[in-house]
């Protein structure tokens, strides 16, 4: 597509605010969103599904906004409020306000963001070394959603927080931590010369996350389909090339560097400056020795240089053990400002002409001033976050819609280009994008608009022959719980969930790291906290998240794949975690009532959000009655048989479709 053709392509056009369309059934819509949906249904001679019942709705709403199941008390209160004549909308609004104010909201929606920015606690190089300070960025994301930080500010802070003004030391610290987004780009090997691949990963993620464009496809040649040129790519590349990234360490150069001290300037000068200067001198000398060593053939001189290098490493390890006690951020700072040169066919050893730092031509193509003394990250952040940028609000609105409905108004959330799908409801997308900006870029305001719509409150059901993929949204899409929701729900209903936020992971001290490509870092730290706080590793997924389609943190995941495999069923029946949750669930249920019926009612309310049906009660009682003899035959001590029988039954609840799906 040429720049001329792009002028007529929908995603590069300015956001418009269309009037909500008129509909034949004027009594059905409760919001403007509903008018857009109903008009399309009526045009295709379809009718919306019935409204979901209150129990279904509160379970849907609670999982959507917090990633956790409603408590029995919350579900019953919602059902009572909905039963009041004309009170359904006010009950939904009240529940939405409560859930949006919960600290668990940020944990749920922060996880969606971490998927797209391919967050990890390890570097991704061939030894996959830990990044002990990555958790600060993770918690920054969670807290930003909880505080409803305006999305444009959230965006600016991640790209250029260290360059933004701050009114307090706390704000300055927070904005520095926000830039952890950039150095969390993947590392690819122990060779410093391959840092160009890390910069390419940054350009790729910035393009897909904020703009919904595959900019990195223009690294070697002009984009084959979208109006993105090699010049566009290297205009952005130069901005990040002019930035100093925190260094995680590698197999050869195993020490971290260029982290940012989270100290006020005067404190930094007093506490950390002398130490950092000494470390920097040692790093520079090790770099010199290593560069010299690789030029030498095997012999006495090479052995001597290698010995000097290793001696300096040992001295640096010793210095690390006496490091002054101050906190650091895995962040960025300004580097040497310079324009990039085109890498011919993507080869950094074959350089072509210089490209001025700047932005995409199809969206204005502004260049940095020749007098610019910085990297250009702040200007880039302002350009992306501008209300005049036609992509930024559309992309984020689509992501939010997708996570409420299971599919976006554009079903290729990271690709708003020619090869992506066209919007199913272009008018609604633009109307929501305009509302988003008018609200002050408030994500929580957008959530509330969506959940108060009648289309969000529809019953789920199968597709029709006229709309098998539900692109017209005639009903709600039933969805499976994510890996994190599955784990968190099991912990919540068993009473094991620790609801407090988490901090750093218990990595070994840096001086003890000896990770190589043949002995990479491998870890899995157990916790009862929410799954968003699990350690995320690039070369190996956390076991449960891997089984249940957790995000691959090597790439920007706009939409997770959903698979159905025997491993998932076997995990829910046999895994140690499932048995621990089942035992705790049984203890909770046994303590919650004296009769089987009372206990079974509590179990069903905790697991499924509803009382048990009569046939379920009969089956459960028969199952529990038959278990003591089976447990005796298995030599289970009599004192443990009751809880073992209940745990066995409750594991069937945890492995059932109704538990792992949201209607």
User: Residue 170: inside a domain, yes or no?
Assistant: yes
Q: Which tokens is 424 given?
A: 């199913």
DSSP string, 234-271: HHHHHHHHTEEEPB---SSS-S-B-PEE-S-HHHHHHH
Angle at 547 between CA 545 and CA 552, to 5 degrees: 55
Supply the angle between the helices 576-591 and 483-494 in degrees, to the nearest 10.
Answer: 40
DSSP string, 432-444: HHHHHHHTTS-HH
User: Residue 393: inside a domain, yes or no?
Assistant: no
With CA atoms as reference, report the closest residue to 159 among 136, 137, 182.
182
How does pLDDT run across 294-306, given as a tens digit for each residue?
Answer: 899 888 999 999 9
CA–CA distance, 283 with 367 (Å, rounded to integer): 35
**328-329 and 260-261 beta bridge pairing:** antiparallel
User: Residue 285: inside a domain, yes or no?
Assistant: yes
User: Residue 306: inside a domain, yes or no?
Assistant: yes
**340-343 and 351-355 beta bridge pairing:** antiparallel
Domains: count for the chain = 2
With CA atoms as reference, report the closest residue to 493 among 312, 659, 308, 285.
659
Over its C-alpha atoms, the chain yields an Rg (Å, rounded) of 28
CA–CA distance, 136 with 360 (Å, rounded to integer): 31
pLDDT at site 528: 97
pLDDT at site 252: 85
Using the Cα atoms of residue 623, residue 658, residue 577 and residue 565 in order, give the sign of their dihedral: positive
User: Residue 580: inside a domain, yes or no?
Assistant: yes
pLDDT at site 6: 81
Count of CB atoms within 10 A of residue 55's CB? 20
Q: Which of 345, 376, 407 is the last residue of a domain?
A: 376
pLDDT at site 294: 87
Q: Which of 358, 376, 394 is the last residue of a domain?
A: 376
CA distances from 316 to 276, 284, 290, 310, 551 (A): 12, 12, 15, 10, 37
Count H helices and E strands in the chain, helices first: 26, 8
Q: Are 211 and 143 in contact (CB under 8 A)?
A: no
User: Residue 326: inside a domain, yes or no?
Assistant: yes
pLDDT at site 604: 97
The parts of the chain modelled with pLDDT lower than 50 are: none
Sequence-ordered list of residues with C-beta below 8 angstroms from that of 645, at least 6 positions apart, any chain? 624, 627, 628, 631
Domain, as residue range, for 628: 570-662
Q: How many CA atoms lie within 13 A of 292 on its CB side?
A: 15
User: Residue 559: inside a domain, yes or no?
Assistant: no
CA–CA distance, 304 with 310 (Å, rounded to integer): 10
pLDDT at site 467: 82
3-class secondary structure per residue, 554-614: CCCCCCCCCCCCHHHHHHHHHCHHHHHHHHHHHHHHHHCCCCHHHHHHHHHHHHHCCCCCH
Helix (H, G, I), strand (E, B) or coil at 498: strand
CA–CA distance, 88 with 92 (Å, rounded to integer): 6
Q: Which of 376, 396, 430 is the last residue of a domain?
A: 376
Burial of 362 (0-12, 13-18, 19+ CB in 10 A): buried
Using the Cα atoms of residue 81, residue 85, residue 88 and residue 89 in order, give the sign of their dihedral: negative
Q: Which tokens is 10 given?
A: 């929908």
CA–CA distance, 198 with 117 (Å, rounded to integer): 14
User: Residue 354: inside a domain, yes or no?
Assistant: yes
Sequence-ordered list of residues with C-beta below 8 angstroms from that of 564, at least 6 positions apart, any chain? none
Cα-to-chain-centroid distance, residue 226? 26
pLDDT at site 193: 66
Q: Are 112 and 558 in contact (CB under 8 A)?
A: no
Sequence-ordered list of residues with C-beta below 8 angstroms from that of 526, at least 6 positions apart, any chain? none
Using the Cα atoms of residue 481, residue 484, residue 487 and residue 491 in order, give the sign of their dihedral: negative
């Amino acid at each position: 597509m040429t720049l001329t053709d792009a002028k007529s392509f929908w995603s590069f056009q300015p956001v418009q605010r269309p009037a909500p369309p008129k509909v034949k059934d004027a009594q059905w819509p409760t919001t403007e969103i509903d008018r857009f949906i109903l008009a399309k249904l009526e045009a295709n001679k379809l009718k919306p599904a019935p409204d979901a019942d209150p129990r279904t709705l509160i379970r849907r709403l609670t999982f959507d906004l917090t990633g956790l199941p409603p408590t029995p008390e919350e579900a019953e209160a919602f059902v009572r409020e909905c039963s009041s004549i004309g009170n359904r909308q006010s009950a939904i609004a009240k529940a939405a306000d409560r859930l949006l104010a919960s600290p668990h909201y940020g944990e749920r929606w922060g996880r969606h963001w971490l998927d797209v920015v391919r967050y990890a606690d390890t570097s991704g190089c061939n030894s996959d070394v830990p990044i002990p300070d990555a958790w600060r960025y993770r918690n920054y994301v969670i807290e930003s959603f909880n505080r409803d930080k305006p999305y444009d500010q959230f965006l600016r802070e991640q790209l250029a927080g260290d360059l933004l003004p701050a009114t307090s030391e706390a704000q300055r610290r927070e904005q520095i931590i926000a830039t952890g987004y950039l150095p969390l780009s993947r590392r690819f090997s122990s060779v410093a010369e391959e840092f160009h691949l890390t910069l390419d990963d940054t350009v790729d993620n910035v393009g897909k996350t904020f703009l919904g464009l595959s900019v990195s496809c223009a690294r070697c040649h002009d984009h084959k389909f979208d109006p993105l040129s090699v010049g566009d790519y290297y205009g952005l590349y130069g901005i990040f090339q002019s930035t100093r990234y925190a260094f995680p360490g590698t197999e050869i150069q195993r020490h971290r560097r260029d982290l940012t001290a989270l100290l006020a300037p005067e404190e930094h000068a007093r506490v950390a400056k002398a130490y950092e200067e000494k470390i920097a001198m040692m790093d520079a000398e090790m770099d010199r020795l290593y560069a010299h060593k690789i030029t030498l053939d095997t012999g006495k001189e090479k052995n001597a240089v290698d010995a000097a290098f290793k001696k300096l490493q040992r001295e640096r390890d010793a210095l690390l053990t006496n490091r002054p006690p101050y906190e650091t951020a895995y962040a960025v700072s300004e580097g040497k400002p310079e324009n990039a040169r085109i890498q011919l066919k993507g080869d950094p050893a074959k350089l072509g002409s210089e490209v001025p730092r700047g932005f995409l031509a199809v969206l204005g193509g502004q260049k940095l001033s020749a007098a610019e003394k910085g990297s250009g990250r702040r200007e880039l952040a302002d350009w992306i976050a501008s209300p005049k940028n036609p992509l930024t609000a559309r992309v984020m609105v689509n992501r939010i819609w997708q996570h409420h409905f299971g599919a976006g108004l554009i079903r290729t959330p990271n690709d708003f280009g020619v090869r992506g799908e066209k919007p199913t409801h272009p008018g609604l997308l633009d109307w929501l994008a305009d509302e988003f900006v008018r609200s002050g870029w408030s994500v929580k305001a957008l959530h509330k608009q969506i959940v108060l719509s009648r289309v969000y409150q529809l019953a789920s059901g199968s597709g029709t022959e006229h709309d098998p993929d539900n692109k017209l949204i005639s009903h709600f899409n039933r969805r499976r719980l994510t890996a994190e929701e599955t784990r968190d729900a099991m912990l919540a209903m068993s009473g094991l969930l620790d609801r407090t936020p988490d901090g750093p992971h218990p990595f070994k001290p840096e001086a003890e790291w000896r990770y190589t490509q043949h002995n990479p870092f491998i870890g899995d730290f157990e916790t009862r906290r929410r799954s968003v706080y699990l350690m995320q590793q690039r070369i190996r997924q956390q076991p449960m998240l891997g089984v249940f389609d957790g995000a691959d943190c090597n790439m920007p995941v706009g939409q997770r794949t959903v698979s159905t495999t025997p491993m998932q069923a076997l995990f829910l029946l046999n895994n140690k975690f499932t048995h621990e949750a089942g035992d705790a669930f049984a203890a909770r249920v046994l303590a919650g009532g004296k009769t089987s019926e009372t206990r079974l009612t509590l179990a069903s309310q905790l697991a499924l959000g509803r009382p048990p049906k009569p046939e379920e009660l009969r089956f459960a009682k028969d199952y529990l009655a038959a278990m003591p003899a089976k447990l005796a035959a298995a030599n289970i001590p009599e004192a443990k048989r009751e809880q073992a029988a209940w745990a066995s039954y409750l594991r069937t609840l945890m492995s059932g479709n109704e538990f792992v799906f949201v209607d």
